[in-house]
Structure 1
Amino acid sequence: MRKILIPTDFSENANNAIKFATNLFKYEVSEFFIMHAYQDDIYADENLVTKNNLDSITITVSQKSEEELDRTLKYINSISPNPKHKYFTISANNLLIDETDKIVDSENIDIIVMGTKGKTNNKKITFGSHTLQVIKYVQCPVLAIPEGHEYSQPKHILFPTNYLIPYKRRELKLLCEMASPFRAKIDMLYISKTDKLSMRQIDNQNFIKEELHKNKLNFKVLESDHILNTIYKYIKEQYVDMLVMVNTRHSFLEDMLYQSKIDELSLNIDIPFLALQNINRD
Protein backbone atom coordinates (compact mmCIF):
# COMPACT_ATOMS: atom_id res chain seq x y z
CA MET A 1 0.00 0.00 0.00
CA ARG A 2 1.48 3.33 -1.10
CA LYS A 3 0.56 6.36 1.04
CA ILE A 4 0.81 9.74 -0.69
CA LEU A 5 0.26 13.19 0.83
CA ILE A 6 -0.61 16.09 -1.47
CA PRO A 7 -0.80 19.55 0.12
CA THR A 8 -3.02 21.90 -1.89
CA ASP A 9 -3.87 25.59 -2.02
CA PHE A 10 -6.42 24.82 -4.79
CA SER A 11 -4.26 26.53 -7.41
CA GLU A 12 -3.85 25.24 -10.94
CA ASN A 13 -0.35 24.15 -10.05
CA ALA A 14 -1.60 22.13 -7.06
CA ASN A 15 -4.19 20.41 -9.26
CA ASN A 16 -1.44 19.63 -11.77
CA ALA A 17 0.58 17.95 -9.00
CA ILE A 18 -2.47 15.85 -8.11
CA LYS A 19 -2.91 14.83 -11.74
CA PHE A 20 0.78 13.91 -11.98
CA ALA A 21 0.66 11.80 -8.81
CA THR A 22 -2.43 9.83 -9.84
CA ASN A 23 -0.74 8.99 -13.14
CA LEU A 24 2.65 8.14 -11.63
CA PHE A 25 1.14 5.70 -9.12
CA LYS A 26 -1.65 4.37 -11.34
CA TYR A 27 -0.33 0.81 -11.13
CA GLU A 28 -0.03 0.81 -7.33
CA VAL A 29 -2.66 0.27 -4.66
CA SER A 30 -2.52 3.69 -3.04
CA GLU A 31 -4.10 6.02 -0.53
CA PHE A 32 -4.00 9.73 -1.32
CA PHE A 33 -4.37 12.32 1.42
CA ILE A 34 -5.34 15.70 -0.04
CA MET A 35 -4.59 18.30 2.62
CA HIS A 36 -5.32 22.01 2.97
CA ALA A 37 -3.78 23.86 5.94
CA TYR A 38 -5.60 27.18 6.18
CA GLN A 39 -4.20 29.00 9.22
CA ASP A 40 -2.33 31.48 7.02
CA ASP A 41 -5.60 32.25 5.20
CA ILE A 42 -7.23 33.32 8.47
CA TYR A 43 -4.57 35.95 9.04
CA ALA A 44 -4.10 36.85 5.38
CA ASP A 45 -5.15 40.44 6.14
CA GLU A 46 -4.10 41.09 9.73
CA ASN A 47 -5.70 44.55 9.65
CA LEU A 48 -9.13 42.92 9.37
CA VAL A 49 -8.64 40.31 12.10
CA THR A 50 -9.65 41.25 15.65
CA LYS A 51 -10.44 39.33 18.82
CA ASN A 52 -14.14 39.95 18.17
CA ASN A 53 -14.28 38.56 14.64
CA LEU A 54 -11.54 35.90 14.78
CA ASP A 55 -14.02 33.07 15.39
CA SER A 56 -16.31 34.09 12.55
CA ILE A 57 -13.40 34.51 10.13
CA THR A 58 -12.08 31.09 11.15
CA ILE A 59 -15.47 29.48 10.51
CA THR A 60 -15.74 31.15 7.10
CA VAL A 61 -12.24 30.08 6.05
CA SER A 62 -12.83 26.54 7.35
CA GLN A 63 -16.08 26.19 5.40
CA LYS A 64 -14.42 27.47 2.23
CA SER A 65 -11.59 24.96 2.73
CA GLU A 66 -14.05 22.07 3.04
CA GLU A 67 -15.95 23.22 -0.07
CA GLU A 68 -12.76 23.51 -2.12
CA LEU A 69 -11.63 20.06 -0.98
CA ASP A 70 -14.99 18.62 -2.09
CA ARG A 71 -14.49 20.22 -5.52
CA THR A 72 -10.95 18.85 -5.65
CA LEU A 73 -12.21 15.36 -4.86
CA LYS A 74 -14.74 15.58 -7.70
CA TYR A 75 -11.96 16.76 -10.00
CA ILE A 76 -9.78 13.79 -9.05
CA ASN A 77 -12.58 11.28 -9.63
CA SER A 78 -13.24 12.83 -13.04
CA ILE A 79 -9.62 12.56 -14.23
CA SER A 80 -8.58 9.35 -12.46
CA PRO A 81 -11.37 6.87 -11.65
CA ASN A 82 -8.83 4.25 -10.58
CA PRO A 83 -10.17 1.36 -8.45
CA LYS A 84 -6.68 0.93 -6.95
CA HIS A 85 -6.82 4.40 -5.41
CA LYS A 86 -8.58 5.74 -2.33
CA TYR A 87 -8.80 9.44 -1.55
CA PHE A 88 -9.08 11.24 1.78
CA THR A 89 -9.35 14.98 2.40
CA ILE A 90 -7.93 16.88 5.38
CA SER A 91 -8.85 20.46 6.24
CA ALA A 92 -6.75 21.80 9.12
CA ASN A 93 -6.46 25.04 11.06
CA ASN A 94 -2.69 24.73 11.11
CA LEU A 95 0.48 25.87 9.37
CA LEU A 96 1.51 23.94 6.26
CA ILE A 97 4.78 22.58 7.66
CA ASP A 98 3.26 21.58 11.01
CA GLU A 99 0.26 19.83 9.47
CA THR A 100 2.40 18.10 6.84
CA ASP A 101 4.76 16.83 9.54
CA LYS A 102 1.80 15.66 11.64
CA ILE A 103 0.20 13.69 8.80
CA VAL A 104 3.52 12.18 7.70
CA ASP A 105 3.93 10.71 11.20
CA SER A 106 0.31 9.72 11.92
CA GLU A 107 -0.32 8.08 8.53
CA ASN A 108 3.22 6.81 7.90
CA ILE A 109 3.32 8.65 4.56
CA ASP A 110 5.69 7.30 1.88
CA ILE A 111 5.93 10.41 -0.28
CA ILE A 112 4.70 14.00 -0.50
CA VAL A 113 3.79 15.33 -3.94
CA MET A 114 3.36 19.05 -4.45
CA GLY A 115 3.60 21.78 -7.07
CA THR A 116 6.62 24.06 -7.01
CA LYS A 117 4.51 27.21 -6.94
CA GLY A 118 1.17 28.25 -5.53
CA LYS A 119 -1.20 31.19 -5.61
CA THR A 120 1.51 33.72 -4.79
CA ASN A 121 3.32 33.07 -8.04
CA ASN A 122 6.60 34.86 -8.60
CA LYS A 123 7.94 34.39 -12.12
CA LYS A 124 11.52 34.80 -10.87
CA ILE A 125 11.23 31.88 -8.45
CA THR A 126 11.12 28.30 -9.71
CA PHE A 127 10.58 26.69 -6.33
CA GLY A 128 8.11 28.44 -4.05
CA SER A 129 8.99 28.96 -0.41
CA HIS A 130 6.44 26.38 0.75
CA THR A 131 8.01 23.64 -1.36
CA LEU A 132 11.49 24.49 -0.13
CA GLN A 133 10.32 24.50 3.48
CA VAL A 134 8.76 21.06 3.14
CA ILE A 135 11.92 19.68 1.48
CA LYS A 136 14.13 21.18 4.20
CA TYR A 137 12.10 20.46 7.32
CA VAL A 138 9.70 17.55 6.80
CA GLN A 139 11.31 14.14 7.15
CA CYS A 140 9.68 12.46 4.16
CA PRO A 141 10.52 12.19 0.45
CA VAL A 142 9.11 15.09 -1.56
CA LEU A 143 8.31 14.98 -5.28
CA ALA A 144 8.08 18.54 -6.60
CA ILE A 145 6.23 19.07 -9.89
CA PRO A 146 7.20 22.20 -11.88
CA GLU A 147 4.53 24.67 -12.89
CA GLY A 148 2.75 23.63 -16.07
CA HIS A 149 4.66 20.35 -16.38
CA GLU A 150 2.58 17.80 -18.27
CA TYR A 151 2.76 14.21 -17.10
CA SER A 152 4.88 11.77 -19.06
CA GLN A 153 6.23 8.44 -17.94
CA PRO A 154 9.66 8.78 -16.30
CA LYS A 155 12.12 7.05 -18.63
CA HIS A 156 15.47 8.63 -17.75
CA ILE A 157 16.21 9.49 -14.11
CA LEU A 158 19.31 11.31 -12.86
CA PHE A 159 20.55 10.58 -9.33
CA PRO A 160 23.68 12.67 -8.50
CA THR A 161 25.49 11.36 -5.43
CA ASN A 162 28.88 11.33 -3.75
CA TYR A 163 28.22 7.91 -2.13
CA LEU A 164 29.17 9.29 1.28
CA ILE A 165 25.88 8.60 3.02
CA PRO A 166 24.18 5.36 4.13
CA TYR A 167 20.97 5.44 2.13
CA LYS A 168 17.62 4.52 3.61
CA ARG A 169 16.30 1.20 2.36
CA ARG A 170 12.69 2.40 2.43
CA GLU A 171 13.44 5.39 0.22
CA LEU A 172 15.51 3.48 -2.34
CA LYS A 173 12.68 0.94 -2.48
CA LEU A 174 10.27 3.81 -3.19
CA LEU A 175 12.43 4.98 -6.09
CA CYS A 176 12.81 1.43 -7.38
CA GLU A 177 9.05 0.80 -7.38
CA MET A 178 8.34 4.21 -8.92
CA ALA A 179 10.72 3.64 -11.82
CA SER A 180 10.44 -0.09 -12.57
CA PRO A 181 6.88 -0.12 -14.07
CA PHE A 182 8.08 2.35 -16.72
CA ARG A 183 11.40 0.54 -17.33
CA ALA A 184 13.19 3.78 -16.57
CA LYS A 185 16.98 3.88 -16.54
CA ILE A 186 18.69 5.56 -13.61
CA ASP A 187 22.02 7.33 -14.03
CA MET A 188 24.02 7.44 -10.79
CA LEU A 189 26.24 10.49 -11.33
CA TYR A 190 29.39 10.97 -9.25
CA ILE A 191 30.89 14.45 -9.73
CA SER A 192 34.52 14.34 -8.65
CA LYS A 193 38.09 14.92 -9.75
CA THR A 194 38.79 11.21 -9.39
CA ASP A 195 36.80 8.07 -10.13
CA LYS A 196 38.44 6.24 -7.23
CA LEU A 197 36.03 5.34 -4.42
CA SER A 198 36.78 4.69 -0.76
CA MET A 199 35.64 1.48 0.92
CA ARG A 200 32.77 3.39 2.48
CA GLN A 201 31.68 4.73 -0.90
CA ILE A 202 31.93 1.27 -2.46
CA ASP A 203 29.74 -0.18 0.28
CA ASN A 204 27.10 2.50 -0.28
CA GLN A 205 27.27 1.99 -4.03
CA ASN A 206 26.75 -1.75 -3.61
CA PHE A 207 23.77 -1.08 -1.36
CA ILE A 208 22.25 1.05 -4.13
CA LYS A 209 22.79 -1.77 -6.63
CA GLU A 210 20.98 -4.19 -4.33
CA GLU A 211 18.01 -1.93 -3.60
CA LEU A 212 17.55 -0.71 -7.18
CA HIS A 213 17.99 -4.17 -8.67
CA LYS A 214 14.75 -3.92 -10.69
CA ASN A 215 16.07 -0.92 -12.57
CA LYS A 216 18.67 -0.40 -15.27
CA LEU A 217 21.52 1.45 -13.53
CA ASN A 218 24.30 3.42 -15.20
CA PHE A 219 27.21 4.53 -13.00
CA LYS A 220 28.74 7.73 -14.35
CA VAL A 221 31.68 9.88 -13.23
CA LEU A 222 32.19 13.49 -14.34
CA GLU A 223 35.09 15.75 -13.37
CA SER A 224 33.98 19.21 -12.30
CA ASP A 225 34.26 21.82 -9.56
CA HIS A 226 30.80 23.20 -10.33
CA ILE A 227 28.34 20.58 -9.13
CA LEU A 228 25.13 22.51 -9.76
CA ASN A 229 26.09 23.58 -13.29
CA THR A 230 27.20 20.04 -14.10
CA ILE A 231 23.84 18.66 -13.00
CA TYR A 232 21.91 21.21 -15.07
CA LYS A 233 24.06 20.52 -18.13
CA TYR A 234 23.63 16.76 -17.76
CA ILE A 235 19.85 17.11 -17.51
CA LYS A 236 19.69 19.09 -20.76
CA GLU A 237 22.23 17.13 -22.79
CA GLN A 238 21.04 13.67 -21.73
CA TYR A 239 17.29 14.43 -21.88
CA VAL A 240 16.68 13.55 -18.23
CA ASP A 241 12.99 13.65 -17.21
CA MET A 242 13.30 13.27 -13.41
CA LEU A 243 15.96 14.39 -10.93
CA VAL A 244 16.58 12.59 -7.63
CA MET A 245 18.72 14.00 -4.82
CA VAL A 246 19.19 13.29 -1.12
CA ASN A 247 18.73 15.90 1.59
CA THR A 248 21.17 15.11 4.37
CA ARG A 249 24.55 16.19 5.67
CA HIS A 250 27.41 16.07 3.17
CA SER A 251 25.06 15.81 0.17
CA PHE A 252 24.81 17.88 -3.01
CA LEU A 253 21.29 18.93 -2.07
CA GLU A 254 22.41 20.15 1.35
CA ASP A 255 24.95 22.40 -0.36
CA MET A 256 22.18 23.82 -2.53
CA LEU A 257 19.65 24.30 0.26
CA TYR A 258 21.74 25.36 3.22
CA GLN A 259 24.81 27.08 1.84
CA SER A 260 22.83 29.38 -0.46
CA LYS A 261 20.45 32.13 0.50
CA ILE A 262 16.91 31.14 -0.47
CA ASP A 263 16.42 34.26 -2.59
CA GLU A 264 19.59 33.43 -4.51
CA LEU A 265 18.91 29.72 -4.78
CA SER A 266 19.01 28.77 -8.46
CA LEU A 267 16.87 25.65 -8.41
CA ASN A 268 15.84 26.31 -12.00
CA ILE A 269 14.60 22.79 -12.56
CA ASP A 270 11.88 22.26 -15.15
CA ILE A 271 11.47 18.51 -14.59
CA PRO A 272 9.99 16.60 -11.61
CA PHE A 273 12.39 16.66 -8.68
CA LEU A 274 12.40 13.94 -6.01
CA ALA A 275 14.12 14.96 -2.76
CA LEU A 276 14.85 11.95 -0.58
CA GLN A 277 15.30 12.51 3.14
CA ASN A 278 18.09 10.49 4.68
CA ILE A 279 17.03 11.59 8.15
CA ASN A 280 15.47 9.34 10.78
CA ARG A 281 12.00 10.45 11.80
CA ASP A 282 11.63 11.49 15.44
Structure 2
Amino acid sequence: MKNILLLTDFSDSSKNAIHYVLQLLEAQTLNCHLVYVHKASTFTSADLMTTGNDNLYASIVKSPKEDLEDLMATLQNIYKNSSHTFSIHIDYDVFTDAINQLVELQTIDLIVMGTNGVTGADEVVFGSNTLNVIRKVDCPTLIIPKDFEFKKPKEVLIPLDEKDELNSNRLQTILELIDKKDSKYHILRITESAENDSFAINDTKTLKQLFDTSHYDYHNISNVPMHHVVDTYVQTHTIDFEVFIIQKTSFFERLFSGSPITKHSKIATIPLFILHD
Protein backbone atom coordinates (compact mmCIF):
# COMPACT_ATOMS: atom_id res chain seq x y z
CA MET A 1 0.00 0.00 0.00
CA LYS A 2 1.19 3.50 -0.86
CA ASN A 3 0.37 6.29 1.60
CA ILE A 4 -0.20 9.56 -0.22
CA LEU A 5 -0.81 13.01 1.22
CA LEU A 6 -3.25 15.08 -0.83
CA LEU A 7 -2.92 18.76 0.05
CA THR A 8 -5.98 20.90 -0.55
CA ASP A 9 -7.12 24.45 0.09
CA PHE A 10 -10.34 23.61 -1.79
CA SER A 11 -9.16 25.55 -4.84
CA ASP A 12 -9.67 24.23 -8.36
CA SER A 13 -5.91 23.81 -8.64
CA SER A 14 -5.62 21.55 -5.59
CA LYS A 15 -8.66 19.51 -6.60
CA ASN A 16 -7.26 19.06 -10.10
CA ALA A 17 -4.02 17.67 -8.64
CA ILE A 18 -6.00 15.16 -6.58
CA HIS A 19 -7.99 14.02 -9.59
CA TYR A 20 -4.77 13.66 -11.58
CA VAL A 21 -3.03 11.35 -9.11
CA LEU A 22 -6.11 9.21 -8.47
CA GLN A 23 -6.25 8.50 -12.20
CA LEU A 24 -2.49 8.09 -12.52
CA LEU A 25 -2.42 5.51 -9.70
CA GLU A 26 -5.83 3.95 -10.29
CA ALA A 27 -4.37 0.42 -10.37
CA GLN A 28 -2.49 0.78 -7.10
CA THR A 29 -3.67 0.27 -3.54
CA LEU A 30 -3.67 3.70 -1.92
CA ASN A 31 -4.29 5.12 1.52
CA CYS A 32 -5.19 8.73 0.69
CA HIS A 33 -4.83 11.41 3.36
CA LEU A 34 -6.80 14.55 2.47
CA VAL A 35 -5.11 17.41 4.31
CA TYR A 36 -6.11 21.02 4.93
CA VAL A 37 -3.68 23.24 6.82
CA HIS A 38 -5.46 26.24 8.34
CA LYS A 39 -3.43 29.41 8.55
CA ALA A 40 -3.77 30.42 12.19
CA SER A 41 -2.58 33.98 11.50
CA THR A 42 -5.83 34.71 9.67
CA PHE A 43 -7.45 35.06 13.09
CA THR A 44 -6.30 38.06 15.12
CA SER A 45 -6.64 38.51 18.85
CA ALA A 46 -9.58 40.84 18.22
CA ASP A 47 -11.34 38.13 16.24
CA LEU A 48 -10.91 35.65 19.07
CA MET A 49 -12.26 38.13 21.62
CA THR A 50 -15.28 39.33 19.65
CA THR A 51 -16.36 36.15 17.89
CA GLY A 52 -18.79 33.90 19.73
CA ASN A 53 -17.67 30.39 20.58
CA ASP A 54 -20.14 28.80 18.17
CA ASN A 55 -19.11 31.06 15.28
CA LEU A 56 -15.44 30.57 16.04
CA TYR A 57 -15.85 26.79 16.04
CA ALA A 58 -17.74 26.93 12.77
CA SER A 59 -15.07 29.12 11.17
CA ILE A 60 -11.92 27.24 12.12
CA VAL A 61 -13.08 23.68 12.71
CA LYS A 62 -16.53 22.81 11.48
CA SER A 63 -16.44 24.42 8.04
CA PRO A 64 -13.09 22.95 6.86
CA LYS A 65 -14.06 19.55 8.28
CA GLU A 66 -17.33 19.59 6.37
CA ASP A 67 -15.55 20.72 3.20
CA LEU A 68 -13.05 17.86 3.53
CA GLU A 69 -15.83 15.36 4.12
CA ASP A 70 -17.67 16.66 1.04
CA LEU A 71 -14.52 16.41 -1.05
CA MET A 72 -13.87 12.87 0.18
CA ALA A 73 -17.45 11.83 -0.64
CA THR A 74 -17.16 13.38 -4.10
CA LEU A 75 -13.94 11.51 -4.86
CA GLN A 76 -15.34 8.22 -3.61
CA ASN A 77 -18.45 8.69 -5.73
CA ILE A 78 -16.55 9.62 -8.90
CA TYR A 79 -13.94 6.87 -8.82
CA LYS A 80 -15.63 4.07 -6.88
CA ASN A 81 -12.20 2.47 -6.46
CA SER A 82 -12.19 -0.13 -3.68
CA SER A 83 -8.38 -0.04 -3.65
CA HIS A 84 -8.37 3.61 -2.57
CA THR A 85 -9.24 4.47 1.04
CA PHE A 86 -9.55 8.01 2.37
CA SER A 87 -9.05 9.84 5.65
CA ILE A 88 -9.16 13.56 6.45
CA HIS A 89 -6.83 15.76 8.49
CA ILE A 90 -7.00 19.40 9.61
CA ASP A 91 -3.95 21.09 11.08
CA TYR A 92 -3.32 24.58 12.45
CA ASP A 93 0.47 24.53 12.55
CA VAL A 94 2.97 26.28 10.29
CA PHE A 95 2.33 24.87 6.82
CA THR A 96 5.51 22.86 6.33
CA ASP A 97 5.68 21.85 10.00
CA ALA A 98 2.21 20.34 9.72
CA ILE A 99 3.19 18.45 6.57
CA ASN A 100 6.43 17.14 8.05
CA GLN A 101 4.53 15.83 11.07
CA LEU A 102 2.00 14.03 8.89
CA VAL A 103 4.74 12.61 6.65
CA GLU A 104 6.31 11.02 9.72
CA LEU A 105 3.14 9.95 11.54
CA GLN A 106 1.41 8.47 8.49
CA THR A 107 4.56 7.12 6.77
CA ILE A 108 3.79 9.14 3.67
CA ASP A 109 5.33 7.94 0.40
CA LEU A 110 4.15 10.77 -1.83
CA ILE A 111 2.89 14.34 -1.45
CA VAL A 112 0.53 15.69 -4.12
CA MET A 113 -0.26 19.37 -4.57
CA GLY A 114 -1.42 21.79 -7.22
CA THR A 115 0.11 25.04 -8.34
CA ASN A 116 -1.21 27.96 -10.33
CA GLY A 117 1.91 28.13 -12.46
CA VAL A 118 3.07 31.33 -14.12
CA THR A 119 0.88 34.21 -12.96
CA GLY A 120 1.01 36.90 -15.60
CA ALA A 121 3.07 39.97 -14.79
CA ASP A 122 4.15 38.50 -11.47
CA GLU A 123 6.16 35.87 -13.34
CA VAL A 124 5.84 33.45 -10.45
CA VAL A 125 6.52 29.87 -11.47
CA PHE A 126 5.58 28.31 -8.14
CA GLY A 127 3.48 29.60 -5.26
CA SER A 128 5.07 30.11 -1.85
CA ASN A 129 3.50 26.98 -0.36
CA THR A 130 4.81 24.85 -3.21
CA LEU A 131 8.30 26.27 -2.88
CA ASN A 132 8.29 25.76 0.87
CA VAL A 133 7.34 22.10 0.45
CA ILE A 134 10.14 21.64 -2.09
CA ARG A 135 12.64 23.31 0.23
CA LYS A 136 11.59 22.03 3.64
CA VAL A 137 9.84 18.67 3.26
CA ASP A 138 12.01 15.67 2.45
CA CYS A 139 9.45 13.52 0.68
CA PRO A 140 8.77 12.78 -3.00
CA THR A 141 6.38 15.47 -4.21
CA LEU A 142 4.18 15.53 -7.30
CA ILE A 143 3.18 19.02 -8.44
CA ILE A 144 0.32 19.39 -10.93
CA PRO A 145 -0.31 22.67 -12.78
CA LYS A 146 -3.73 24.27 -12.65
CA ASP A 147 -6.07 23.07 -15.42
CA PHE A 148 -3.72 20.32 -16.57
CA GLU A 149 -5.94 17.58 -17.93
CA PHE A 150 -4.97 14.04 -17.04
CA LYS A 151 -3.25 11.89 -19.62
CA LYS A 152 -0.86 9.06 -19.04
CA PRO A 153 2.70 10.39 -19.25
CA LYS A 154 4.40 9.32 -22.46
CA GLU A 155 7.57 11.42 -22.57
CA VAL A 156 9.41 11.85 -19.26
CA LEU A 157 12.35 14.22 -18.85
CA ILE A 158 15.01 13.68 -16.15
CA PRO A 159 17.75 16.34 -16.13
CA LEU A 160 20.81 15.57 -13.98
CA ASP A 161 23.90 17.54 -13.08
CA GLU A 162 27.13 16.36 -11.49
CA LYS A 163 25.58 16.38 -8.01
CA ASP A 164 22.79 14.00 -8.95
CA GLU A 165 23.18 10.27 -8.63
CA LEU A 166 21.14 8.06 -10.91
CA ASN A 167 20.64 4.80 -9.03
CA SER A 168 18.23 1.89 -9.27
CA ASN A 169 16.32 2.87 -6.11
CA ARG A 170 15.67 6.35 -7.46
CA LEU A 171 14.57 5.01 -10.84
CA GLN A 172 12.30 2.51 -9.12
CA THR A 173 10.60 5.36 -7.26
CA ILE A 174 9.87 7.03 -10.59
CA LEU A 175 8.65 3.77 -12.11
CA GLU A 176 6.14 3.40 -9.29
CA LEU A 177 4.41 6.43 -10.78
CA ILE A 178 4.98 5.87 -14.47
CA ASP A 179 5.06 2.47 -16.11
CA LYS A 180 8.07 2.14 -18.39
CA LYS A 181 6.04 0.02 -20.84
CA ASP A 182 3.88 3.00 -21.76
CA SER A 183 6.47 5.77 -21.60
CA LYS A 184 9.84 6.89 -22.88
CA TYR A 185 12.41 8.40 -20.55
CA HIS A 186 14.72 11.21 -21.65
CA ILE A 187 17.78 11.42 -19.42
CA LEU A 188 20.01 14.48 -19.75
CA ARG A 189 23.33 14.24 -17.92
CA ILE A 190 24.79 17.76 -17.81
CA THR A 191 28.46 18.05 -16.85
CA GLU A 192 31.04 20.81 -16.83
CA SER A 193 33.65 18.88 -18.80
CA ALA A 194 33.34 16.54 -21.76
CA GLU A 195 36.46 14.74 -20.59
CA ASN A 196 34.69 13.17 -17.62
CA ASP A 197 32.82 10.18 -19.01
CA SER A 198 32.43 8.32 -15.69
CA PHE A 199 28.88 9.66 -15.28
CA ALA A 200 27.79 8.27 -18.65
CA ILE A 201 29.34 4.88 -17.91
CA ASN A 202 27.64 4.57 -14.52
CA ASP A 203 24.32 5.97 -15.77
CA THR A 204 24.17 3.59 -18.72
CA LYS A 205 24.94 0.62 -16.50
CA THR A 206 22.12 1.58 -14.10
CA LEU A 207 19.62 2.21 -16.90
CA LYS A 208 20.27 -1.14 -18.52
CA GLN A 209 19.36 -2.87 -15.27
CA LEU A 210 15.78 -1.58 -15.46
CA PHE A 211 15.11 -0.57 -19.06
CA ASP A 212 15.27 -1.91 -22.56
CA THR A 213 17.15 0.52 -24.76
CA SER A 214 13.90 1.33 -26.57
CA HIS A 215 12.46 2.79 -23.38
CA TYR A 216 14.96 5.61 -22.92
CA ASP A 217 17.16 8.16 -24.65
CA TYR A 218 20.36 9.16 -22.89
CA HIS A 219 22.26 12.37 -23.62
CA ASN A 220 25.55 13.46 -22.09
CA ILE A 221 25.91 17.24 -22.44
CA SER A 222 28.82 19.37 -21.31
CA ASN A 223 29.66 23.06 -20.91
CA VAL A 224 26.04 24.23 -21.15
CA PRO A 225 24.03 25.58 -18.17
CA MET A 226 21.24 23.30 -17.01
CA HIS A 227 18.47 25.83 -17.60
CA HIS A 228 19.54 26.26 -21.25
CA VAL A 229 19.62 22.50 -21.79
CA VAL A 230 16.19 21.97 -20.22
CA ASP A 231 14.65 24.94 -22.06
CA THR A 232 15.93 23.74 -25.42
CA TYR A 233 14.95 20.14 -24.89
CA VAL A 234 11.35 20.81 -23.86
CA GLN A 235 10.93 23.09 -26.88
CA THR A 236 12.15 20.40 -29.29
CA HIS A 237 10.49 17.36 -27.70
CA THR A 238 6.94 16.62 -26.61
CA ILE A 239 7.68 16.32 -22.90
CA ASP A 240 4.62 15.77 -20.69
CA PHE A 241 6.23 14.93 -17.33
CA GLU A 242 9.42 16.15 -15.63
CA VAL A 243 11.49 14.73 -12.78
CA PHE A 244 13.94 16.86 -10.82
CA ILE A 245 16.38 15.53 -8.26
CA ILE A 246 17.28 18.44 -6.02
CA GLN A 247 19.50 19.42 -3.19
CA LYS A 248 17.51 21.81 -1.02
CA THR A 249 20.24 24.43 -0.86
CA SER A 250 20.99 24.51 -4.56
CA PHE A 251 17.66 24.09 -6.33
CA PHE A 252 17.39 27.70 -7.46
CA GLU A 253 21.05 28.04 -8.32
CA ARG A 254 21.00 24.99 -10.55
CA LEU A 255 17.65 25.63 -12.19
CA PHE A 256 17.14 29.39 -12.31
CA SER A 257 20.53 31.06 -11.89
CA GLY A 258 21.39 33.38 -14.75
CA SER A 259 18.08 32.96 -16.53
CA PRO A 260 14.81 34.90 -16.39
CA ILE A 261 12.08 32.97 -14.60
CA THR A 262 9.79 33.33 -17.60
CA LYS A 263 12.11 31.09 -19.60
CA HIS A 264 11.03 28.24 -17.34
CA SER A 265 7.31 28.68 -17.82
CA LYS A 266 7.23 25.23 -19.43
CA ILE A 267 8.02 23.74 -16.03
CA ALA A 268 4.79 25.19 -14.69
CA THR A 269 2.64 23.73 -17.47
CA ILE A 270 3.32 20.00 -17.05
CA PRO A 271 3.47 17.70 -13.99
CA LEU A 272 6.69 17.92 -12.02
CA PHE A 273 7.97 15.15 -9.76
CA ILE A 274 10.48 16.29 -7.13
CA LEU A 275 12.96 13.91 -5.50
CA HIS A 276 15.45 15.00 -2.85
CA ASP A 277 19.04 14.02 -2.29
RMSD: 3.2
Change (3 A) 1:249 1:98: closer
Instruction: Pick closer, same or farther for the CA change 1:265–1:171 going to 2, 3 Å.
Output: farther
The reply on whether 1:233 has 2:264 as its aligned counterpart is no
1:75 partnered with 2:45 = no
Residue 98 of structure 1: aligned partner: 97
Displacement after TM superposition at 1:204 (Å):
5.2
Distance in 2 (alpha carbons) for counterparts of 1:90 and 1:215: 43
Does 2:139 match 1:140? Answer: yes
Inter-partner Cα distance in structure 2 for 1:208 and 1:48: 60
Aligned counterpart, 1:188: 187
Partner residue of 2:47? Answer: 49
Higher helix content, 1 or 2: 2
Q: Does 1:15 align with 2:15?
A: yes
Q: Are the structure 2 counterparts of residues 254 and 24 from structure 1 closer, same or farther at C-alpha, using a change threshold of 3 Å?
A: farther
- Residue 145 of structure 1 contacts residue 272 of structure 1 at CA under 8 Å; is this kept in 2? yes
**TM (normalized to structure 2)?**
0.84
Code of the aligned partner of 1:60: S
User: For 2:188, what is the secondary structure of its paired residue?
Assistant: strand
Q: CA deviation at 1:177?
A: 2.2
Partners of 2:177 and 2:272 in 1: CA distance: 13
User: Residues 167 and 206 of structure 2 are in contact (CA less than 8 Å); yes or no, is this contact kept in structure 1?
Assistant: no
C-alpha change, 1:183 and 1:137, in structure 2 (3 Å) is: same
CA contact (8 A) 2:140 2:273 kept: yes
**242 and 255 in structure 1: CA distance in 2 versus 1, 3 angstrom threshold:** same
5+ unaligned residues in a row in structure 1: which ranges? none
Aligned length: 272
Residues 200/240 of structure 1: CA separation in 2 closer, same or farther (3 Å cut): closer
SS at match of 2:270: coil
Give the share of equivalent positions with the same residue, in percent: 22
Q: In the alignment, which residue of structure 2 is the partner of 1:112? A: 111
Tell me the secondary structure at the aligned position of residue 94 of structure 1.
coil
Aligned partners of 2:211, 2:248: CA distance in 1, in Å? 22
Secondary structure class of the residue paired with 2:175: helix
1:237–1:264 distance in 2 versus 1, CA, 3 Å: closer
1:10 partner amino acid = F
Deviations 1:178-198 (CA, angstroms, capped at 9, x unpaired): 221662111111234654445
d(CA) in 2 for partners of 1:214, 1:140: 30
Matches within 5 A, 1:118-157: 122-123=119-120, 124=122, 125-157=124-156
Contact 1:26 1:82 in 2 (8 A): yes
Give the Cα–Cα distance (whole angstroms) in 2 for the partners of residues 250 and 98 of structure 1. Answer: 18
Q: 1:70 to 1:28 in 2, by over 3 A?
A: same
Relative distance call for 1:233 and 1:252 in structure 2 (3 A) is farther
C-alpha separation between the residues in 2 aligned to 1:252 and 1:196?
Answer: 25
| 1:206-221 map, 5 Å | 206-210=205-209, 216-221=215-220
Rounded Cα–Cα distance in structure 2 between residues aligned with 1:260 and 1:154: 30
* 8 Å CA contact 1:246, 1:277 repeated in 2: yes
Q: Check conservation: 2:162, 2:190, Cα contact below 8 A.
A: no
Q: Distance in 2 between matches of 1:199 and 1:6?
A: 39
Letter in 1 for 2:42: A
Conserved 8 A contact 1:33-1:87: yes
Q: Which residue of 1 aligns with 2:255?
A: 256
